[in-house]
Structure 1
Amino acid sequence: MKFNVKKNFIILSITQFIIVILCFIIHHKITLVSYIDISFYVTSGYILLSLLLFTIHSGFYDVMSKSLNLFFSRGKDKRRFEDIPGLSELITLNGKPLFLHGLITGLLMAAALMVHYA
């Protein structure tokens, strides 16, 4: 996987712009506390989504997804359990960039928190 600094910087800038816009929409003003509040939710979303993708890619949900697919396609065609693709084979989205952007946004939030308490 090629590490593209320019692309990551653009995505991080868009994320920070969205955080500032959400601060203005939700709190009707842009303060350090509102930035910390909104960036906490954005960071949590990024990291939780990347952890979900990690557990999906580990094969944790494969048996459950295969079983549900076999159950709901019952009677339509004769399929074997081994022929049904697992959820880890179907979802190919990479979770590492989401974790990276969540980590950087979290570090910016922690810096804002230190400025707030200093």
Structure 2
Amino acid sequence: MDSHFKKRVLLVTLTQIAILVLSFFFYKKITLLSYINISFYMTATFLLLSLLLYTIQSGFYDAIGKSFNLVFSKDRKRKFTEIPSLSEMVTIDKRPLFFHGLVTGLFMLISLVAYYV
């Protein structure tokens, strides 16, 4: 088996264990409804973080980031073009967060179907 695939399976397993632990921590028991609730928050967190990284890396916040950097800089002779853009500085890969958000969301949807059927 590919080591990349093993790492993904391990991280999905750890995410599911974290959901069960958080379910027990917040609800004092592990039920299907508590699993659905916690996995919803985990899915939303993963997907929203991946979308935030996508918008940052697309250059949407570059002008705002450069402007704040220019205004709060101690060096007043600095030019706007010399300031590195935010999309160049944020190099985190958004695909793993998106993948884990989709997988966790899929497990949540399966649990929702099992709960209502």
TM-score (norm 2): 0.95
**Secondary structure at 2:48 match in 1:** helix
Cα separation, 2, equivalents of 1:44 and 1:83 = 36
Unpaired stretches in structure 2, ≥5 consecutive residues = none
Q: CA RMSD in A?
A: 1.4
* Stretch moving more, 3-12 or 79-88: 3-12
SS at match of 2:84: coil
Q: In the alignment, residue 41 of structure 1 is paired with which amino acid?
A: Y
Following superposition of structure 1 onto structure 2, how do residues 1-118 of structure 1 map, counting pairs within 5 Å?
Answer: 4-74=4-74, 76-118=75-117
Distance of aligned partners of 1:102 and 1:116 in 2 relative to their CA distance in 1, 3 Å threshold:
same
The C-alpha deviation readout for 1:25-81, integer Å capped at 9, x for no partner, is 00000000000000000000000000000000000000000000000115x352111
Q: Using the alignment, how far apart are the partners of 2:3 and 2:41 within structure 1?
A: 26
1-side partners of 2:63 and 2:112: how far apart? 43
The farther-off stretch of 65-74 and 34-43 is 65-74
Percentage identity across paired residues of the two chains:
51
Moved over 3 A (4+): none
Count of residue pairs brought into register by the alignment: 116
Note the C-alpha offset of 1:3. 8.5
In structure 1, C-alpha distance between the alignment counterparts of 2:30 and 2:73, rounded to whole Å? 52
3-state SS, counterpart of residue 4 of structure 1: helix
